[in-house]
Each structure stands twice: as C-alpha cells, then as structure tokens.
Amino acid sequence: MIELFGFSLFNLALGFLTSLPLIYWFLTKNNNYWKKMGVKGPQPLPLFGNLLERCQNPVPLLDIGYVQKYGNVFGIFNGTDPTLMVAEPELLKQILVKEFHKFSNRRELRTEHPIINKNLFNSMGEDWKRMRTIMSPTFSSGKLRKMYHLVEQSLEEYLGHLEVMARDGKYINAKVLHQNFTFDVIAKCAFATKTNSQKDPNNKLVAAGRKVFIFSAIKMVPALIFPKYINKMLNIRTLLVEAPNEFIFDLTRHMVEKRRNGEKSNDFLQLLVDANAADNNNNNKDLSDDKIDSHHFIEAQSWLFLLAGFETTATALGHLSYELGLNPDVQEKLHNEVINAFDLDGKINYETLQSLPYLDAVISETLRMYPSLARLEREAGEDVKLGDTGITVRKGQMIEIPVYAIHRSEKYYKNADTFTPERFMPENRKDLVPYAYMPFGTGPRNCIGMRFALMEIKLCIAHIVKSFRFTKCADTEMPIKFMNLTPLMTAESITLGIEKR
C-alpha cells in the first residue's frame, strides 16, 4: 500500500475530508463580522474576502460602486481581516487628525526585509515618529529652494525632447514622457545620478527604477495573507521583485560612501546623510542599537523617495496634460497667467511660481479628479468608538479611506466629473468641505514630499504651457482607462497631440 509520512493514502484522504468542515470554518469564521455589527458591505469569499474584486477592477471604480451601494461607512474583508471603509468627512477628521495618536500607523508589512521595512511609509509607532522628525527638515522651503535648480536641469532635457516631438507632429504618450522626466528628477535628487530617460531608457538605473514597484506574482498571495513568521519560513522578504531593488540599494551605498569622503551636493541624499549624522551625534547611537541601521536608514529612505515620488508625480502630470488637452479654454487661461511670470531669460523663480493662483487651482483640480493614491489607510492602535456611528473599531483593525470616491462625490463637489479649476481659486475655497479633499492625505502622517511634488509639477507645467499646447487627438483615450492591481491611480496610457506655440 502506498504510504506518506507513515500514513496510508486512504487514511490521509479520510483525514483531509473529515477536516474540511474545520478548514471551512477557519476560513469563514469572520465572514459575518460586519453583518453582526449591522454594518453593510459586499459579501466576502472564504480566505480571499473581497480581494478578488480588487484584482478584477481598478480600485477607484470599485470604490465609487461601493460608496453608491453601501453609503459612507461600510465593511469589507482583506483576506479574512475585516476592514472598515470610511468616507464621511467628520469621521476622517477624528481618525486622521483629532485622534491621530490612536491611528498613527498604516498596515504592518507581513514580510521582513532589512532595508525595505525601515522606510518611513511602512515604519510604525516610535520608529516612525523619530524618523519623521529627522526627515521633516529635508522638505523645508529653504531646502526645496536649493533643489529647484536640479529640477530645472532635468526639465531642460524634457523640453528639448518635446520640441522634437512637436516639430515632427508626433502624438505623445504623456504618461511615459512625464515618467521619464520625474524619474530623472528623483535620480538626480535622491541618487545623485544624472540620467536622461527620454534618450537613454536602457541606462542601468533607469531600467532598475522602472522595475522597483513590480510585484512578484508568486509571492503576492503569501506576502499579503500569511503572517510574518510563515513568510519568514518561506524566505519571502518582500512582495516586490528583489533584483532591481538590490541594484538601487547598492547604488545608494556607493553614493553615500562618496559623500562621507567629502563630496557635497544640494540634494535629498546629502540631506539624509547630514540628518543621519546629526542624529547620531545627538543620540550617540543610530535609529536602533544596531550600528548597521544607520546605513539602512539612508538606503531605505532614498529607495522610498524613488517609489513614492516618481510615479505619483508622473501620474499627476499625465492627468493634468490630459485635462488641458481636453479643455483648451483652461489651457489658454493658464498660458496667459504663466507667460507674464517668466523673466527675460525665460526663467521663472521659486517665489513667483508659488504665487500663481490659476496654476495652483488647475493642479488642485487635477489631483481632486485623479488622486494618485486612490485609498489611504490607518490601523487602530486601540479600541475606538467612531463618532456617533455606534461602531467600535477594534485594536489592530484597518480603516481604509476611499479618497477617489470622496473626490468624485456630488455631495461635496457639484458636477464632480467636470474639470473646473475655479473651485480652487482663492475666492471660492471657502465653499470647499473640510476633509473632503486629500490627495496628499492629511494630519501628521500626510505626504512628506507634498511641497517638493507641487514645486516639480508647477515648474514643469508652467514651462510646457508657455511654449507648447497639448491637444486632443484621434488616439486620445476617452475616458481614461485605469490599471488594475496597483494602489496607484494610474492610466494605461495617455495619448495627446503636442504643438509648439
């Protein structure tokens, strides 16, 4: 008789069949969690909960459907974990600001990587607080002013490339062109490396950078569902593909070494090296007692800047170009505002750039219609009663915030699907509903790179609109098709015409 581990196959099969009800109970024991609490929501599947719906649909569109069907507070399941979705501005004020100390973390990673786990976005509790304090000065306006010139340099190459495309009368893929530009900016600012992604896409850093955010299909399910210790046993350190990330870490180590040997520059890398050195002097120890963490601190944050800063900003620029192409009147009004802000050398300075209300309004409206991150998330650090909903969020439970669905709600924005920058003009801002606009999140854990991103977007669009005109063309996607399986709200492609003025 065939045997396995000393048991006959018959006995094994019998054991498996009799334990099926137990396995089923284990996988579905939470499925009535929200129902029992009187909270509406989509029906979950065993083990996967509502994750399959998330794989089949772009998150923004899924959330619009959910909010229409279940209202502003409803329950979903990430795997077997009950997660509360909250789209009610008053409750968001409680979670993100008033009681931030009870919701200061995002979801804990279920994997353990010596560098990736040390990045600010994923760090938790006191580690996060300390890192955020160390890193905040990196994004002060004084420091950004010093980096302004680095962004201008990357822009020169981009404008040169657009010139050729416009002359040849080619349609452009605005998504890819903006990705190239924002990549060059972050390569320069965070890795002290000059790249020209428009002309040299095969450059090693460009190639690796493009792949850092690719999920490994094999690791995806365990990394999202299994507890940390099982992933450790399976040697799964991250759900990302590791090789391109290792390349980025090696490059950072190499650049940091140069800085420690006296090379200096006005970039993020320098600010991180200086901030880390100052912190070590103050505390006479690194972020943890383990000396190696000092090194990992810089690698982890530079890597995060690449991850958090390049695609988000490119996405915003892509959507902005799209709306300008579709709304020629807005584009002309913007052109008329920026044309007067340039000096005789064709430059615009940092202060002037910040003082252009229509440019600011056009960007704000773009980020309302297309927030780069369609959802925010917070973990409850203790049991918390949520406003007067009668719901108590339990310690360790996740709250997710469907930002896109809030931004597209007629409750908060009249004609929410229409591109209307005027909503954000200074004289109309009083009509905006508090906590119904958060493309950069809000509260103490909002986007640390917001001012840098806005400076980069403003500078890029002001220069482009001064000299070029985006146009709708035969291939322009109507409407935009969003990609599945990504936390970012990113289009599959954005095709536009481009004309020289």
In the set 298, 362, 384, 453, which binds ligand HEM (CB under 6 A)?
453
Rounded to a whole number of angstroms, the minimum distance from the CB of residue 248 to ligand HEM is 14
Rounded to a whole number of angstroms, the minimum distance from the CB of residue 45 to ligand HEM is 28
Rounded to a whole number of angstroms, the minimum distance from the CB of residue 371 to ligand HEM is 6
Q: What are phi and psi of 397, to 5 degrees?
A: -80, 150
In the set 319, 368, 445, 458, which binds ligand HEM (CB under 6 A)?
445
Which residues, including other chains, have CB under 8 Å from residue 434's CB and lie 6 or more apart?
89, 93
Quote the CA–CA distance of 142 and 489 in Å, as a whole number: 31
Binding mask 93-122 for ligand HEM (x = CB under 6 A): ---------------------------xx-
Computed on alpha carbons and rounded to an integer, the radius of gyration of the chain in Å comes to 24
Quote the CA–CA distance of 465 and 330 in Å, as a whole number: 11
Please choose, out of 221-229, 271-279, 310-318, 486-494, the segment that lies near ligand HEM by the rule CB under 6 A.
Answer: 310-318
Rounded to a whole number of angstroms, the minimum distance from the CB of residue 261 to ligand HEM is 25
Under the binding rule (CB under 6 A), the answer on residue 82 touching ligand HEM is no
In the set 352, 446, 471, 486, which binds ligand HEM (CB under 6 A)?
446
Antiparallel, parallel or unpaired: β 7-8 and 3-4: antiparallel
Label each residue of 155-172 as H, E or C. HHHHHHHHHHHHHCCCCE
Under the binding rule (CB under 6 A), the answer on residue 452 touching ligand HEM is yes
Task: Decide: 320 and 374 in contact? Cβ < 8 Å.
Answer: no
252: part of which helix (H) or strand (E)? helix 242-260
In the set 92, 95, 308, 353, which binds ligand HEM (CB under 6 A)?
308
In the set 82, 309, 325, 402, which binds ligand HEM (CB under 6 A)?
309
Q: Residue of minimal CB distance from ligand HEM?
A: 441
Quote the CA–CA distance of 444 and 346 in Å, as a whole number: 38
In the set 104, 313, 364, 409, which binds ligand HEM (CB under 6 A)?
313
Rounded to a whole number of angstroms, the minimum distance from the CB of residue 363 to ligand HEM is 9
Under the binding rule (CB under 6 A), the answer on residue 441 touching ligand HEM is yes
Rounded to a whole number of angstroms, the minimum distance from the CB of residue 180 to ligand HEM is 16
Please choose, out of 37-45, 231-239, 349-357, 446-454, the segment that lies near ligand HEM by the rule CB under 6 A.
Answer: 446-454
Q: Which is nearer to ligand HEM, 313 or 490 (CB)?
A: 313
Structure tokens at 416: 């929410």
Task: Decide: 297 and 278 in contact? Cβ < 8 Å.
Answer: no
Would you give the end-to-end CA distance of the chain in angstroms?
Answer: 83
Under the binding rule (CB under 6 A), the answer on residue 440 touching ligand HEM is yes
Binding mask 368-407 for ligand HEM (x = CB under 6 A): ----xx--x-------------------------------
Place of tokens 């006296």: 262
Q: Which is nearer to ligand HEM, 92 or 338 (CB)?
A: 92
Under the binding rule (CB under 6 A), the answer on residue 439 touching ligand HEM is yes
Residue 2: how many CB atoms within 10 A of its CB? 7
Task: Decide: 87 and 405 in contact? Cβ < 8 Å.
Answer: yes
Under the binding rule (CB under 6 A), the answer on residue 272 touching ligand HEM is no
CA distances from 417 to 365, 368, 369, 385 (A): 11, 10, 7, 34
Structure tokens at 10: 């018959």
By CB under 6 A, the residues from 283 to 302 that bind ligand HEM are none
Going by the DSSP 8-state scheme, the letter that residue 139 receives in this structure is G
User: How many residues in the shown chain lie near ligand HEM by CB under 6 A?
Assistant: 24
336, 340, 344, 348 alpha-carbon torsion, rounded to 10°: -100
449, 450, 452, 453 alpha-carbon torsion, rounded to 10°: 110
CA-based nearest residue to 182, from 469, 453, 491, 458: 453
In the set 49, 89, 449, 497, which binds ligand HEM (CB under 6 A)?
449
Residue type at position 498: I
Residue type at position 41: G
Three-class SS of residue 337?
helix
Please choose, out of 23-31, 52-60, 274-282, 308-316, the segment that lies near ligand HEM by the rule CB under 6 A.
Answer: 308-316
Question: Was 447 annotated as part of a binding site?
Answer: yes
Q: What are phi and psi of 78, to 5 degrees?
A: -95, 100
By CB under 6 A, the residues from 347 to 366 that bind ligand HEM are none
By CB under 6 A, the residues from 124 to 143 that bind ligand HEM are 132
Annotated binding site for heme: 447
Task: Give me the residues that bind ligand HEM (CB under 6 A), please.
Answer: 120-121, 132, 304-305, 308-309, 312-313, 316, 372-373, 376, 439-442, 445-449, 452-453
Q: Which residues are annotated as a binding site?
A: 447
